[in-house]
Structure 1
Protein backbone atom coordinates (compact mmCIF):
# COMPACT_ATOMS: atom_id res chain seq x y z
CA UNK A 1 0.00 0.00 0.00
CA UNK A 2 1.37 3.36 -1.02
CA UNK A 3 0.08 5.50 1.83
CA UNK A 4 1.67 8.68 0.52
CA UNK A 5 -0.29 8.46 -2.73
CA UNK A 6 -3.53 7.59 -0.91
CA UNK A 7 -3.12 10.44 1.59
CA UNK A 8 -2.31 12.90 -1.19
CA UNK A 9 -5.48 11.83 -3.04
CA UNK A 10 -7.51 12.21 0.16
CA UNK A 11 -6.16 15.70 0.82
CA UNK A 12 -6.84 16.82 -2.77
CA UNK A 13 -10.39 15.49 -2.51
CA UNK A 14 -10.93 17.18 0.87
CA UNK A 15 -9.71 20.54 -0.46
CA UNK A 16 -12.42 20.46 -3.14
CA UNK A 17 -15.23 19.07 -0.97
CA UNK A 18 -17.23 21.82 0.73
CA UNK A 19 -18.70 19.54 3.39
CA UNK A 20 -15.26 18.47 4.67
CA UNK A 21 -13.99 20.70 7.44
CA UNK A 22 -10.83 18.81 8.31
CA UNK A 23 -8.70 15.71 7.76
CA UNK A 24 -6.54 14.52 10.63
CA UNK A 25 -3.89 11.81 10.66
CA UNK A 26 -3.64 10.22 14.12
CA UNK A 27 -1.81 7.29 15.66
CA UNK A 28 1.80 6.31 15.05
CA UNK A 29 1.94 7.97 11.61
CA UNK A 30 1.06 11.31 13.15
CA UNK A 31 4.16 11.26 15.33
CA UNK A 32 6.43 9.69 12.71
CA UNK A 33 6.74 6.37 14.55
CA UNK A 34 5.82 4.02 11.69
CA UNK A 35 7.13 0.68 10.51
CA UNK A 36 6.38 -1.36 7.35
CA UNK A 37 3.26 -2.94 8.89
CA UNK A 38 1.84 0.32 10.25
CA UNK A 39 -1.60 1.41 9.15
CA UNK A 40 -2.81 4.98 8.88
CA UNK A 41 -5.50 6.32 11.17
CA UNK A 42 -7.37 9.13 9.45
CA UNK A 43 -10.28 11.17 10.75
CA UNK A 44 -12.49 13.13 8.38
CA UNK A 45 -14.57 15.91 9.88
CA UNK A 46 -17.66 16.90 7.95
CA UNK A 47 -20.96 18.63 8.54
CA UNK A 48 -22.70 16.29 6.06
CA UNK A 49 -21.94 12.64 6.88
CA UNK A 50 -24.94 11.43 4.88
CA UNK A 51 -23.56 12.73 1.59
CA UNK A 52 -20.32 10.84 2.16
CA UNK A 53 -22.25 7.67 2.96
CA UNK A 54 -24.49 8.01 -0.11
CA UNK A 55 -21.82 8.87 -2.69
CA UNK A 56 -18.80 6.59 -2.39
CA UNK A 57 -16.94 8.01 -5.39
CA UNK A 58 -14.51 9.71 -2.99
CA UNK A 59 -13.87 6.41 -1.24
CA UNK A 60 -13.22 4.51 -4.45
CA UNK A 61 -10.73 7.15 -5.55
CA UNK A 62 -8.36 6.18 -2.74
CA UNK A 63 -7.34 2.96 -4.45
CA UNK A 64 -7.56 -0.63 -3.30
CA UNK A 65 -6.64 -1.16 0.32
CA UNK A 66 -8.08 -2.55 3.52
CA UNK A 67 -9.91 0.67 4.45
CA UNK A 68 -12.36 0.64 7.34
CA UNK A 69 -15.12 3.24 7.46
CA UNK A 70 -16.23 4.40 10.93
CA UNK A 71 -18.80 6.88 12.05
CA UNK A 72 -19.32 7.96 15.63
CA UNK A 73 -21.47 4.88 16.18
CA UNK A 74 -20.10 2.04 14.02
CA UNK A 75 -17.36 0.69 11.74
CA UNK A 76 -17.61 -1.17 8.43
CA UNK A 77 -14.57 -2.95 7.03
CA UNK A 78 -16.50 -4.45 4.09
CA UNK A 79 -15.81 -1.46 1.82
Structure 2
Protein backbone atom coordinates (compact mmCIF):
# COMPACT_ATOMS: atom_id res chain seq x y z
CA UNK A 1 0.00 0.00 0.00
CA UNK A 2 2.82 2.43 0.85
CA UNK A 3 4.58 1.58 -2.40
CA UNK A 4 1.43 2.38 -4.36
CA UNK A 5 1.05 5.70 -2.52
CA UNK A 6 4.71 6.59 -3.10
CA UNK A 7 4.39 5.70 -6.79
CA UNK A 8 1.30 7.90 -7.11
CA UNK A 9 3.02 10.87 -5.46
CA UNK A 10 6.12 10.56 -7.66
CA UNK A 11 3.98 10.11 -10.79
CA UNK A 12 1.92 13.18 -9.85
CA UNK A 13 5.01 15.34 -9.26
CA UNK A 14 6.61 14.24 -12.52
CA UNK A 15 3.37 14.89 -14.41
CA UNK A 16 3.04 18.38 -12.91
CA UNK A 17 6.67 19.25 -13.60
CA UNK A 18 6.70 17.92 -17.17
CA UNK A 19 3.42 19.53 -18.16
CA UNK A 20 4.40 23.06 -17.13
CA UNK A 21 4.68 25.80 -19.70
CA UNK A 22 6.49 29.08 -19.25
CA UNK A 23 4.78 31.63 -17.01
CA UNK A 24 3.75 35.19 -17.85
CA UNK A 25 1.68 35.85 -14.70
CA UNK A 26 2.82 36.57 -11.13
CA UNK A 27 1.30 33.97 -8.81
CA UNK A 28 1.62 32.64 -5.26
CA UNK A 29 0.37 29.07 -4.86
CA UNK A 30 1.20 26.22 -2.48
CA UNK A 31 3.80 28.37 -0.73
CA UNK A 32 4.00 25.94 2.19
CA UNK A 33 4.58 22.76 0.15
CA UNK A 34 7.14 21.23 -2.23
CA UNK A 35 4.92 22.18 -5.16
CA UNK A 36 5.38 25.93 -4.53
CA UNK A 37 4.64 28.30 -7.39
CA UNK A 38 5.70 31.89 -6.72
CA UNK A 39 6.10 34.80 -9.07
CA UNK A 40 7.16 33.63 -12.51
CA UNK A 41 10.34 31.74 -11.64
CA UNK A 42 10.13 30.17 -8.15
CA UNK A 43 9.19 26.51 -7.79
CA UNK A 44 10.17 23.13 -9.20
CA UNK A 45 9.52 23.18 -12.94
CA UNK A 46 8.08 26.71 -12.72
CA UNK A 47 9.81 29.14 -15.07
CA UNK A 48 9.12 32.43 -16.78
CA UNK A 49 8.78 32.86 -20.51
CA UNK A 50 11.84 34.26 -22.32
CA UNK A 51 12.15 38.00 -21.75
CA UNK A 52 9.70 38.06 -18.84
CA UNK A 53 10.69 40.35 -15.98
CA UNK A 54 10.57 38.86 -12.46
CA UNK A 55 7.70 39.95 -10.20
CA UNK A 56 9.86 41.07 -7.25
CA UNK A 57 13.31 40.62 -5.67
CA UNK A 58 12.61 37.05 -4.51
CA UNK A 59 11.41 36.08 -7.97
CA UNK A 60 14.55 37.72 -9.41
CA UNK A 61 16.67 35.39 -7.24
CA UNK A 62 14.78 32.41 -8.61
CA UNK A 63 15.31 33.70 -12.16
CA UNK A 64 19.08 33.99 -11.55
CA UNK A 65 19.08 30.46 -10.10
CA UNK A 66 17.19 29.10 -13.13
CA UNK A 67 19.62 30.83 -15.51
CA UNK A 68 22.58 29.38 -13.60
CA UNK A 69 21.13 25.85 -13.67
CA UNK A 70 20.48 26.14 -17.41
CA UNK A 71 24.02 27.47 -18.00
CA UNK A 72 25.42 24.32 -16.38
CA UNK A 73 23.58 22.16 -18.91
CA UNK A 74 20.73 21.18 -16.60
CA UNK A 75 17.06 21.56 -17.40
CA UNK A 76 14.71 23.43 -15.10
CA UNK A 77 11.77 22.32 -17.22
CA UNK A 78 12.20 18.64 -16.39
CA UNK A 79 13.81 19.03 -12.99
CA UNK A 80 13.83 16.10 -10.60
CA UNK A 81 12.05 17.36 -7.46
CA UNK A 82 14.33 15.17 -5.32
CA UNK A 83 17.61 16.65 -6.60
CA UNK A 84 16.78 20.34 -7.15
TM-score by length of 1: 0.26
Structure with higher Rg: it is 2
